[in-house]
Chain A
Amino acid sequence: MIKEGKIGQSEAIHLVTIAITTKVFFTSPAALMKIVGTSGWYVTLISAAMAMLGFTFIYLLLKEFPDRDLIEAYEKSVGRLMGFIFSLSLGGFILFTTSIRVREFAEVLKVYTLPLSPPSFITGIFVITIAALCFLGFEPIARFARLVGYVLIFAFLVVILSGIKNYEIHRIAPLFGYGLGKTILHGMVRSSGYGEVIILAVMAKSLQGTQHIKKAGFLSIGLSGILISLSILAYTLTFHYSVAQEFTSPMYELAGLIRYGRFFQRFDPIFIFLWSISTFISALVFFYTSISIYCKIFRIQDIRPIILPFAVLLFALTMIGKDSEDIVIGHVHIIRNYGWLFLFVPPVIALIAAKIRKKGLIESA
């Protein structure tokens, strides 16, 4: 039997919030600015609202099947075959997202701090670390997220608040960016930016009941929305939007500009730890979730023998992208724009199927 342990609501919120907000350190904010201009800071709030809507369907589906996780709920609602397809596509999507996150991290790290190190070296260390930690199970990952959660949020706020003297309020204009229609449309499409919340549904048995999942899910999306919005707002206020679009990591640039006196000149060191640790947690939990989904689909009772092959697979996937541009413009773009198809559509179909089946059962009775 897969023994994933039990986690509390607080641990779940920390874990999912860290997993979601990590992407703010990479190329996504700059890409968002390229698409919607200066309205990025509230586009993400629209995405968060859409993700909440998507999560509501996930929650309703789990409510139909109490004491079961998402994988089992798929099977119970749409049958073994369709459930298998839904779960496999979700697992594959999560593994692919993990690989892109690891590679994106490696590329950004290469640009800023380790210019001479090959990506394989950086991703190699990353994959070995997360694979080793997967052997310990899901519970310690959530616990560690809880332990460092406050520290990470504190460091994040320090970076945001320390740059306050570089903020210029006029840079927020035009308020609707490239147009309100475009802003809302992209806000809705990019709801997959909050897709990490699905971890709660896959690991539902580790949480104590559907009510806990509901609360943890909505709170973590809300909290992440605020944090991501704050960071996008901070660099929108710091850099002119035409300049901000060009940065590989706008948050890193933001931290580099901080200067208080002769000694406190740059806050990059704080930023690197914040960035690396949250990426490790994020990729680790995603990697673990993908293995867990695979084991659940194929009724594998122990995840440990699967970790090593998955680690090799993850490393191979991270190496597929040709270069930084290929990753950012190609893969990340695909994940952000079409991720919702894997994350939020199957639960809606499964929920409708479950409702129809239930109705049929009641009528036949």
Chain B
Amino acid sequence: MAGIFKNLNSFFTYKANQREEFELLEGADEKASQENNSATHVESAIEERLSKDIGVNLAKIKQQLNVPKNQDILIREFKLEEKIGAFIVFIEEMADGTTINDFILRPLLMPEHTAEYLKRHKKGELIDYIWNNVLAINQAKKEKEFRNIIKKVLDGGTALFIDGYEECLLIESQGYEKRGIEAPKTENVIRGPHEGFNENLRTNISLIRKIVRNEDLIVEFLPIGKKSQISCAVLYMEKVTNPNIVKEVKRRIQNIDIDLVMGAGVLEEMIADQPYRMLPQILTTERPDRAAILLIVGKVIFMVEGTPFASAVPINFWECLRSPEDYFLKWHAATFLRILRLFALLITLLLPGLYLALTLFHQEMIPTDLLAAIAFSRENIPFPAVLELVMMELAFEFIREDGLRVPGILGQTLGIIGALILGQAAVSAQIVSPILIIVVAVGGIASFAIPSYELSFSIRLLRFGFIFLAAIAGFYGISAGIILLGVMSVSIKSFGVPIFSPIAPKTRANQDVIASLPVFMQKGRPDALNPLDRKKGGNPIRRWMQYKGGNKP
């Protein structure tokens, strides 16, 4: 009850908008670049440090990791040269057993490896000596703070503690099970590569690095989720991407105060500019090649451990109509496909509503032959057109949802059989008209042509809104819906970039919006991103055109 009064009160009383919007302005890049490099990852609190007494460290580690209650956390105590106490801590199945046994424990337990050093230097810099001469491991670092040690161990690393030292050695030993690299499931192409991301963050980064072999590709790791501490990698091109965008992405990710961020989907919702709007403000891809293209044009990519997708910001609406296939086709084919997808989007959104408006309000606008066909088919239908349409749309959604839930080939079969039998039976039983089945089916098929899953879903939901508006006011209602949706959509920004740029607002000409010009004419990066380097190709790109007879002039 109190909540209702609070809402009513806020409706009638004025409250100033406190939220400060992020705007991507030109000229602020340099300042942001300096700030970005120096102070973005400041740790405010000084964490608890290691003790020289190994017993204290062991007790602290056991306390922090809840040992022995936590039964998959293994602590192996041993003595170096039979006198210096040491232990390693790691998590079973998160760390690789072979690495620990053969390349960490075996060398450490062989006295000849450390005996010579201890004879000459007593203890001195034993940790450095072990790292330089004993361990056959490619990556490790010294660490003094418990918080970072715990984080690394939880990530599959191994921590080596030695008595008398206020620091430990964090050794890379990740070895958890992961899926191999497979073909992308949602972004299939005919001519492009067939590699997709998997759930392993490091593998995904390596797939991108394999394409973008450039020292300017920066990868920064940020932990997200207070309890889960999942790694999130932020990738960008140092001399290309606008530092304001990088700073803003990192600021938003670092300021999420929640226990668990279960993958990129949740993170996207947390950091989107306008999470209440339906249109996507972040672009996801499961293809390394597409992620690489997005990086090169000046976007920031972020990937979350456990999610086989990369997310790119800022984006525009037109990018949601692009398929990875476009990059491997000639420009005229790509342009045709994009126009086709735009048309499919409009059909998905408006066709059911238009049908309803025509049959309920504007019969005089239907050509006579078509009107007769619709009238005959609806003659014996007992339901009003709106109910008939909503019933069939819901049936179509049920079939689609079942097709996803029912495993494997059975799902596809269920979809086809369901649609065929249900449609045929409904027409035979004179519950729905055949024309309506066509309208619903065409709308449903068209929705699959939209490459972005998020956009497709939004359009499917919005379609019901248009059905409602068409039912109450025909074309006028649909027009009201178009203007509502249109103005609300153009007001959306993706990390400061208007989502309908470069058309609304008009920014400098971009050769790859709906119509795609030939690749050799696409010299510039999107103006709306305010990249540090505006050119992505030379002038001309095809320099060989200037040479005659194959010789340089």
Contact = CB atoms under 8 A, between A and B. Distances in A.
Contacts of A262: 367-369
B410 interface: no
Interface string B429-467: 000000000000000000000000000000000000000
B506 A8 contact: yes
A141 B477 CA distance: 19
Interface in A1-39: 7-8, 10-11
Nearest to B21: A3
A137 B336 CA distance: 35
B474 interface: yes
B479 A277 contact: yes
B506 A129 contact: no
Interface stretch (B110-118, B236-244, B380-388, B481-489): B481-489
A284 B369 CA distance: 39
A110 to B, nearest CB: 10
A125 interface: yes
B483 A281 contact: yes
B358 to A, nearest CB: 8
Interface string B349-388: 0000000000001101101111000000000000000000
Contacts of A132: 484
Interface in B485-520: 486-488, 490-491, 498, 500, 503-506
Chain B CB within 10 A, most for which of A132, A147, A264: A147
A117 interface: yes
B211 interface: no
Interface string A121-142: 1100110010011001101110
Contacts of B479: 272-273, 276-277, 280
Q: How large is the interface on A (under 10, 10 to 19, 20 to 34, 35 or more residues)?
A: 35 or more
Interface in A113-167: 113-114, 117, 121-122, 125-126, 129, 132-133, 136-137, 139-141, 143-144, 146-148
A264 B368 CA distance: 10
A305 B12 CA distance: 9
Interface of B: 14, 16-17, 361-362, 364-365, 367-370, 473-480, 482-484, 486-488, 490-491, 498, 500, 503-506
Interface of A: 7-8, 10-11, 109, 113-114, 117, 121-122, 125-126, 129, 132-133, 136-137, 139-141, 143-144, 146-148, 262-266, 268-269, 272-273, 276-277, 280-281, 284, 302, 304-305
Contact of A125 (B16, B476, B487, B498): B476
Given A133-B483, A277-B482, A280-B483, 20 more contacts: A7-B505, A113-B476, A121-B473, A129-B484, A132-B484, A143-B505, A144-B487, A146-B506, A147-B486, A147-B490, A266-B367, A268-B362, A268-B364, A269-B362, A272-B475, A272-B479, A276-B479, A281-B483, A284-B487, A302-B17
A265 B361 contact: no
Contacts of B17: 302, 304
B482 A113 contact: no
Nearest to A129: B480
9 contacts: A8-B505, A11-B506, A117-B473, A129-B483, A129-B484, A141-B487, A143-B491, A263-B367, A273-B475
A268 B503 CA distance: 28
A272 B479 CA distance: 9
Contacts of B474: 113-114
Contacts of A305: 14
Given A113-B361, A302-B16, A146 B476 contact: no
A126 B480 contact: yes
Contacts of B482: 273, 277
Nearest to A130: B483
Q: Is the interface of B mostly helix, strand, loop or mixed?
A: helix
Nearest to B499: A143
Contacts of A8: 505-506
Nearest to A269: B365
Contacts of A141: 487
A114 B476 contact: yes
Contacts of A113: 361-362, 474-476
B14 A147 contact: no
Given A113-B362, A140-B487, A269 B504 contact: no
Contacts of A114: 361, 473-474, 476
Nearest to A136: B491
Nearest to A109: B476
A269 B474 CA distance: 11
A182 to B, nearest CB: 37
A147 B492 CA distance: 14
B477 A302 contact: no
Nearest to B473: A125
B515 to A, nearest CB: 13
A309 B364 CA distance: 39
A266 B477 CA distance: 21
A16 to B, nearest CB: 15
A139 B491 contact: yes
A19 B365 CA distance: 27
A162 to B, nearest CB: 15
A113 B360 CA distance: 11
Contacts of A265: 367-368
Contacts of A129: 480, 483-484
Nearest to A6: B505
B505 A11 contact: yes
Contact of B480 (A117, A139, A280, A281): A280
Contact of B490 (A143, A273, A277, A302): A143
A132 B480 CA distance: 11
A148 B211 CA distance: 39
Nearest to B475: A272
Contact of B476 (A11, A263, A272): A272
A322 B488 CA distance: 34
